[in-house]
Amino acid sequence: MNKKFFALAVIPSLLLASCDLLDVLLTEPTNSPEQNKDDEKKEEQKKDEQNPDALGFYIISAKFIDEIGHLKVNYECNYGSPFNINGHPFSHLNITGVLAKEVDSSNDAYFTFLSPIIQTTLKFEFYDTNENIYISYRFENVEPYNEETVDPAQTITYPEGYDTLYWSDEFNGNSLDTSKWTYDIGNGSNGWGNGESQYYTNHNETVSDGVLTIKGKKEYVESFAYTSTRIKTKDKVKFTYGYVEASIALPTVTGMWPAFWMMPNNSNYGGWPHSGEIDIMEAKGRFPNNSSSAIHFSTDSGEHTYLTKEKSGHNIATFHKYAAEWKEDSISFFIDDVKYFETYKSQWTTVNAPTSETAPFDKDFYIILNLAIGGHFDGYRLPPEGFSETSMQVDYVRVFQK
């Protein structure tokens, strides 16, 4: 049995009037009280054929988490996900007569609505591909919004100009979600091309209390004296353009090289660096108040080059939001919502698409989180004598799109 969450993002219709994602609003007709009673009796008569319990689908709780109608639903689904229960696909979901459009098919499913829903009883109707109601589920006792009791971590703040949460991992489970992430194992070629000193494993990370922790350890594996973990969304979550954000706390130990970055899902313009690299955040553990961002690409003659900028003045040991806004004509970098570095398409190139104005940053990229040890980034420095372990922590990773 899998316990999961989905957040129902309720956005006023004026804000989404031009959104291609949602252009249909379904509402139930207004009936007389007598007609409503008749309809409820009919619903009861259909209960056996539309019984969600028989399919292992249960709603445990529902709670509004802000004043504009964002709703968090905790459910159990034994046989799949809300949009594919027991192998039965659904075309769409109505919640109290309002169309809910799925914008993330992962375990933490997110839905967006055209108009606010502020009610204490909700009706979930799953329509099959023939537009027939396959499951009708009524849930009562929806918790109203209470500013004093809502955990701020449950709310999602959308960057200015973005209305869709394309994907996220809130790390709400008790282990890494391998439907979203996969591991890099070992030391790669020449320390993953960077002279790194650690051996990446699939067990140096934990997920607990809504936080991913990646540990770097003094530990011998193969011929390497250190271990750590590197995870990526390659072939699982890939996208072109958007606002990519993570809340991360970093280690302040010499020799640590934590990173939050992106690589091309397919090398459309050739091997590195010709297809590009976007480094949203990198840090050197011996500098507790500094981090940097960069993009890598190739010159017209095929040589590696990059643009980078360092930001100081923030304690990297505490959680900060690191983000990149990737658009067709620019890539900008933010710390705690403040832009500090911007690059433009006129500045980047790739040898294998010399006439393109946007290459190589115009194809799908995927996300990487890792904690390297040693390597060229900080002059191959290693942890001090007596080092045993340290960690980087990630509260969430989110990708927004327009």
Taking only the tens place, the pLDDT of each residue in 130-151 is 777 666 767 777 776 665 554 5
Is 277 a known active-site residue? yes
Beta bridge partners of 401: 164
Report the pLDDT averaged over residues 44-58: 48
* Residue 51 clears pLDDT 80, i.e. is over it: no
131, 156, 181 - which closes a domain: 156
* Percent helix / strand / coil, the chain, rounded to 5: 10, 45, 45
Residues 178 and 135 in one domain: no
Same domain, 213 and 130: no
Domain end (from 156, 180, 201): 156
Element spanning 38, H or E: helix 33-45
CATH of the domain at 178: 2.60.120.200
Enter the tokens of residue 40: 């409820």
Q: Are residue 227 and residue 279 in the same domain, yes or no?
A: yes
Task: Work out how many domains the chain is built from and give that number.
Answer: 2
**Across 291-320, average pLDDT:** 97
Whether residues 152 and 172 fall in one domain: no
Decide if 163 is inside a domain.
no
Contact 255, 382 (CB under 8 A): yes
Are residue 141 and residue 258 in the same domain, yes or no?
Answer: no
Q: Does residue 202 lie within any of the structural domains?
A: yes
Q: What is the mean pLDDT of residues 143-171?
A: 75
- Asked if 53 and 199 sit in the same domain, the reply is no
Look at residues 272, 271, 248, 270 and name the one whose alpha carbon lies nearest to residue 259. 248
Same-domain check for residues 267 and 130 = no
The confidence score (pLDDT) of residue 31 equals 54
Judge if 111 and 252 occupy the same domain. no
For residues 123 and 266, membership in a common domain is answered with no
Same domain, residue pair 326 and 221: yes
Angle at the Cα of 230 from the Cα atoms of 229 and 236, rounded to 5 degrees: 135
User: Which pTM does this prediction carry?
Assistant: 0.67
Lowest mean pLDDT among 72-76, 175-179, 238-242, 263-267: 72-76
Q: Do residue 320 and residue 356 come from a single domain?
A: yes
Give whole-number Cα distances, 287 to 280, 317, 372, 397, in Å. Answer: 17, 10, 15, 24
Domain annotation covers residue 161? no
Can you give the residue range of the structural domain that contains 302?
168-401
Pick the catalytic residue from 170, 196, 245, 282: 282
Give 88's pLDDT tier (boundaries 50, 70, 90): low
Does 117 reside within a domain? yes
End residue of a domain, out of 156, 191, 216: 156
Mean pLDDT of the region 201-224? 96
Q: What is the pLDDT of residue 211?
A: 95
Q: Sorting pLDDT into bands at 50, 70 and 90, what band is 33?
A: low
Q: Are strands 365-373 and 230-232 parallel, antiparallel or unpaired?
A: antiparallel
Catalytic residue among 125, 170, 277, 325: 277
How many residues are listed for the chain in this entry?
402
Provide the token pair at 84.
């594919």
**141 and 227 part of one domain:** no
Provide CB contacts within 8 A for 5, sequence distance 6+: 72, 73, 74, 75, 108, 170, 172
Mean pLDDT of 10-19: 30
Q: Is the distance from CB of 77 to CB of 86 less than 8 angstroms?
A: no
Half-sphere exposure of 45 (CA within 13 A, CB side): 6
Tokens of 217: 């350890």
Whether 51 is in a domain gets the answer yes
Q: Alpha helix (H) ranges present in 91-238?
A: none
CA dist 251 → 149, 153, 204, 247 (Å) = 32, 22, 15, 14
pLDDT in tens, 275-288: 999 999 999 999 99
